[in-house]
A and B are shown apart, each in its own frame.
Chain A
Amino acid sequence: MSVSVRIPTILRTYTNGSAEVSGQGATLREVLQKLDADFPGIGARILDETGRIRRFVNVYVGEEDVRFADNLDTATPDGVQVSIIPAVAGG
């Protein structure tokens, strides 16, 4: 499945500044694997050492937080937008 992935500012160093990149995969897990293959290192900023999504990063497929869906097994239908939203504290 071809999806678009929204990259937050703090991870754009990995994507040469791109705010949105194209992704591939039937599930979020596959999309993130492909993303890390395309942009080495970005995966470790989203997933922890055990391969789970870090607790201060939220990943949305469409409008839904995948923590309340099927986590990394959440289906990523063709054309859906995957958003990576890390916590920021600036004020």
Chain B
Amino acid sequence: MSLPPLVEPAAELTVDEVRRYSRHLIIPDVGMAGQKRLKNAKVLCVGAGGLGSPALLYLAAAGVGTLGVIDFDVVDESNLQRQVIHGQSDVGRPKAESAAASVREINPLIDVVVHNEVLTTENVMDIFARYDLIVDGTDNFATRYMVNDAAVLLGKPYVWGSIYRFDGQASVFWAEHGPCYRCLYPEPPPPGMVPSCAEGGVLGVLCASIGSIQVNEAIKLLTGIGEPLVGRLMIYDALEMTYRSVKVRKDPECVLCGKNPTVTELLEDYEAFCGAVSEEAQEAVSGSTITAAELKSWQDAGENIYVIDVREPNEYEIVSIPGAVLIPKGEFLNGSALERLPQDKKIVLHCKSGVRSAECLAVVKNAGFSDAVHLGGGVLSWIKTVDPSLPTY
């Protein structure tokens, strides 16, 4: 299924632009008309992180005339393994500004719009309305559902990509011509079921594999060439080096873009929709969360405690709290961890940032360890407040 071009051509290309884009211009399918469409195009990249980095660089180089970048975060050293739009000297700088500076360096002939803010239900409609196409490079379910809903409600196409370890997925969602993200995944997973890249890791170059597919699809949509990835999900396996595509059907029962939609405006709270932490875990941690300083003082005072690290072995290897015993979260979820817990000691659970340990705390309390606690903020808060000499990840 080919689709008409999303953007009308600009009136003309300058001499500088003809020189710069000559390798596009001599491709018959792109040509002057296609390049003029790119010049007239307004594309927003949501997130200047793993996927946003290659996406923004190539969109800029390709001559997309107006390129927006929205990100609220600042560049962290742990981003540099994959977020190639930022450099060492950008650490601590807002990502949106750092990305815009790289884009301007790559192509001074285009306009860059910096949105150094959080994308929220308050601003998403106004911001998206200014663009022809959205590239979704966010890193969490809440924002992804919000991006989808806003795009569908505004009738905008968006190019979606997602990554984890060695696996990538990409598709184009455009309710007018095919399915939306909710047709593919009607509901987000409950918290704790699907790990994030911060928990599970990601191969840096995977970002380029998927980000480049996203730019490829963006260019096709803007210029109206080729077969867009509408109604198909591309699945990439970097270890096996395979690309497979499966059909994504428009769900007639979709609550957003189906025949009888029940979602006709943005949800009030996407965080709640996706559940940052499960209700059980929220209940478990209430009154049973300690700080890193408290844990340190308990250890120093020789309190009768048993500290359990619920992360994965490779995370434990990177950094761990002295004295902590490793029992990964999965062993709590399947129950096998319980028999290894001492009955005569106070259980203290921790993970990287406090989400996984909260889930485990619910299991442990249900099993009768009513005085068990977890470390709020996880090993990261331990490093911050107790021993800053330890590495973070």
| Residues of chain A whose beta carbon lies under 8 Å from any beta carbon of chain B | 8-10, 13, 19, 41, 45, 54-56, 58, 60, 63-65, 67-68, 83, 85-91
Asked if A56 contacts B188 (CB within 8 A), the reply is yes
Within 8 A of A (CB), among B299-352: 330, 334
Alpha-carbon separation in the docked complex, A3 to B141 (Å): 32
Asked if A90 contacts B50 (CB within 8 A), the reply is yes
Collect the chain A residues with CB atoms within 8 Å of residue B68's CB: none
Residue of B nearest to A64 (CB): B247
Among the 9-residue stretches B31-39, B233-241, B261-269, the one with 4 or more Cβ atoms under 8 Å from chain A is B233-241
User: Do A56 and B163 form a contact, CB below 8 Å, given A86-B194, A89-B194, A89-B196?
Assistant: no
Out of B161, B195, B334, name the residue touching A91 (CB < 8 Å): B161
Alpha-carbon separation in the docked complex, A45 to B194 (Å): 10
Residue of A nearest to B247 (CB): A63
Residue of B nearest to A88 (CB): B164
Q: How close is B180's CB to chain A, nearest CB, in angstroms?
A: 14
Asked if B137 contacts A91 (CB within 8 A), the reply is yes
Collect the chain B residues with CB atoms within 8 Å of residue A55's CB: 185-187
Asked if A87 contacts B51 (CB within 8 A), the reply is no
Residue of B nearest to A40 (CB): B334
User: Do A85 and B187 form a contact, CB below 8 Å, given A19-B239, A90-B162, A90-B196?
Assistant: no
Q: How close is B191's CB to chain A, nearest CB, in angstroms?
A: 12
Asked if B162 contacts A19 (CB within 8 A), the reply is no
Most chain-A CB neighbours within 10 Å: which of B239, B240, B244, B330?
B244
Residue of A nearest to B334 (CB): A41
Asked if B330 contacts A88 (CB within 8 A), the reply is no
Most chain-A CB neighbours within 10 Å: which of B163, B194, B247?
B194
Out of B138, B167, B193, name the residue touching A9 (CB < 8 Å): B167
Alpha-carbon separation in the docked complex, A87 to B139 (Å): 12
Interface contact tally, CB-CB below 8 A: 92
Collect the chain B residues with CB atoms within 8 Å of residue A64's CB: 246-247
Size of interface on B: residues with Cβ below 8 Å to A: 47
Collect the chain B residues with CB atoms within 8 Å of residue A90's CB: 50, 139, 162-164, 196-197, 200, 202
Which A-B residue pairs are the 3 nearest by beta carbons?
A90-B197, A55-B187, A56-B189
User: Do A89 and B237 form a contact, CB below 8 Å, given A9-B165, A10-B194, A65-B249?
Assistant: no
User: Do A91 and B239 form a contact, CB below 8 Å, given A55-B187, A65-B247?
Assistant: no
Alpha-carbon separation in the docked complex, A65 to B240 (Å): 23
Q: How close is A4's CB to chain B, nearest CB, in angstroms?
A: 13
Asked if B189 contacts A87 (CB within 8 A), the reply is yes
User: Do A19 and B138 form a contact, CB below 8 Å, given A9-B165, A90-B164?
Assistant: no
Asked if A9 contacts B164 (CB within 8 A), the reply is yes
Out of B162, B163, B200, name the residue touching A10 (CB < 8 Å): B200
Q: How close is B76's CB to chain A, nearest CB, in angstroms?
A: 15
Out of B165, B185, B240, name the residue touching A56 (CB < 8 Å): B185
Q: Can you offer 30 A-B residue contacts whose CB atoms are under 8 A? A: A9-B164, A9-B166, A9-B167, A19-B239, A55-B186, A55-B187, A56-B186, A56-B188, A56-B189, A56-B193, A56-B194, A60-B246, A63-B247, A65-B246, A65-B247, A68-B249, A85-B169, A87-B141, A87-B162, A88-B163, A88-B169, A89-B138, A89-B139, A89-B144, A90-B50, A90-B200, A90-B202, A91-B52, A91-B136, A91-B163
Q: How close is A67's CB to chain B, nearest CB, in angstroms?
A: 8
Collect the chain A residues with CB atoms within 8 Å of residue B251's CB: 67-68
Residue of A nearest to B50 (CB): A91
Alpha-carbon separation in the docked complex, A67 to B169 (Å): 19
Collect the chain A residues with CB atoms within 8 Å of residue B139's CB: 89-91
Collect the chain A residues with CB atoms within 8 Å of residue B51's CB: 91
Asked if A88 contacts B162 (CB within 8 A), the reply is yes
Q: How close is B390's CB to chain A, nearest CB, in angstroms?
A: 25
Residue of A nearest to B51 (CB): A91
Alpha-carbon separation in the docked complex, A19 to B238 (Å): 12
Collect the chain A residues with CB atoms within 8 Å of residue B196's CB: 89-90
Residue of A nearest to B199 (CB): A90
Q: How close is B145's CB to chain A, nearest CB, in angstroms?
A: 10
Alpha-carbon separation in the docked complex, A87 to B195 (Å): 10
Within 8 A of A (CB), among B155-175: 161-167, 169
